[in-house]
Amino acid sequence: MNKPQHVPVLLDEALEYLNVQPGGVYVDATLGLAGHSAAIAKKLGGKGRLICFDRDPQAMQAAQVRLEEVKAELGAEMPEVVYVAKAFSEAASELAPGSVDGLLADFGVSSLQLDEAHRGFSFRSEGPLDMRMDTRSGETAGQVVNQEDENELADLIYEFGEERRSRRIARAIVRARPISTTAELARIISAEAPSMKGEKIHPATRTFQALRIRVNNELGEIESLLKSAPSLLKPGGRLVLISFHSLEDRLVKDAFREAGRSKVFEVLTKKPVVAGRQEEMRNPRSRSAKLRAAQKV
């Protein structure tokens, strides 16, 4: 089995804004395949502490292997690593108030999830309609697609996918039920709502995004983290968040603006930080990434 290929997005920028200090306590709220965590560990040193959250058991297992490789490289300079197999929305119940020097979250879907067909995240390969980040519990995308009322299905595709043709797509989905695979769903959407002139994304992109957000309660997770982060950080602690679509970025932007007004945070990024041309060419998934950072006052 080939090792999953993973390139962490906006790595240099994330490290710069996180301002990792040797011996500090840092949280990677979205461990994924440990791309960001590996780099943080190398800056933290042997007296530091790195706390890693991920609700995806498969990603957690792969990340532990990666961080063991880093440990072999660093030896005594490897920080203590704590693994928390939970969603980052549960950070407040796992961390002591005022204990964290920096918290990083990358809200993107990991390479492992996208590239493995059996996870059901991608329309580019045949797989079951799953899309759960935590495969141990919760409803699948297949259950949503095959059981949701047509109007509710249209609403969630419009709201979470920002898809203007949501009514047509929902009607086509209901008409074609039962639908069992990602490729089958993608074909139904493409036939009913093909790409418009000048549009570069696949016709199913927005609908798949909407289903993934619904299945994993992604926006609710982000809202929970935004509420708890100020109490978890030490004075001067940094919060660095990487979003991949407008719904996520809007939540972060609004929360930062409000926290800035109330003097809870100093916002460090007046505009979101985006990938440079070289990174975009090296890692096309970085094109939609937006990084925002703030420091607790």
Tell me the average pLDDT across 71-87. Answer: 96
Tokens standing for 269?
A: 């990024």
> Is residue 266 helix, strand or coil?
strand
More confident residue, 5 or 136: 136
Tell me the average pLDDT across 33-50. Answer: 96
Q: Is the pLDDT of residue 101 over 90?
A: yes
Q: Is the pLDDT of residue 84 over 70?
A: yes
Question: Residue 6 has what pLDDT?
Answer: 65
Question: Residue 66 has what pLDDT?
Answer: 95
Given a contact cutoff of 8 angstroms between Cβ atoms, the answer to whether 67 and 81 are in contact is yes
Q: Is the pLDDT of residue 131 over 70?
A: yes
User: Which pLDDT band holds residue 76 (cuts at 50, 70, 90)?
Assistant: very high
Tokens standing for 261?
A: 């007004």
Tell me the average pLDDT across 124-128. Answer: 88
Question: Residue 112 has what pLDDT?
Answer: 67
Pairing of strands 49-53, 80-84: parallel
Instruction: Supply the mean pLDDT for the chain.
Output: 93
In the chain, the amino acid numbered 232 is L
Separation in Å, CA 14 to CA 136, 156, 265: 31, 32, 17
Sequence-distant (≥ 6) Cβ neighbours of residue 183 within 8 angstroms? 123, 125, 126, 127
> Is residue 76 helix, strand or coil?
helix
Domains in the chain, CATH or no CATH each: 11-112+218-296 (3.40.50.150), 123-216 (1.10.150.170)
Q: Is the pLDDT of residue 228 over 60?
A: yes
Distance CA 111, CA 122 (A): 11
Question: Residue 4 has what pLDDT?
Answer: 44
In the chain, DSSP finds a helix count (H) and a strand count (E) of: 13, 7
Sequence-distant (≥ 6) Cβ neighbours of residue 217 within 8 angstroms? none
Pairing of strands 265-267, 80-84: unpaired
User: Which pLDDT band holds residue 123 (cuts at 50, 70, 90)?
Assistant: confident
Q: In this prediction, what percent of the chain has a pLDDT beyond 90?
A: 85
Tell me the average pLDDT across 230-256. Answer: 97
Q: Is the pLDDT of residue 85 over 90?
A: yes
Distance CA 25, CA 48 (A): 6
Question: Residue 165 has what pLDDT?
Answer: 96
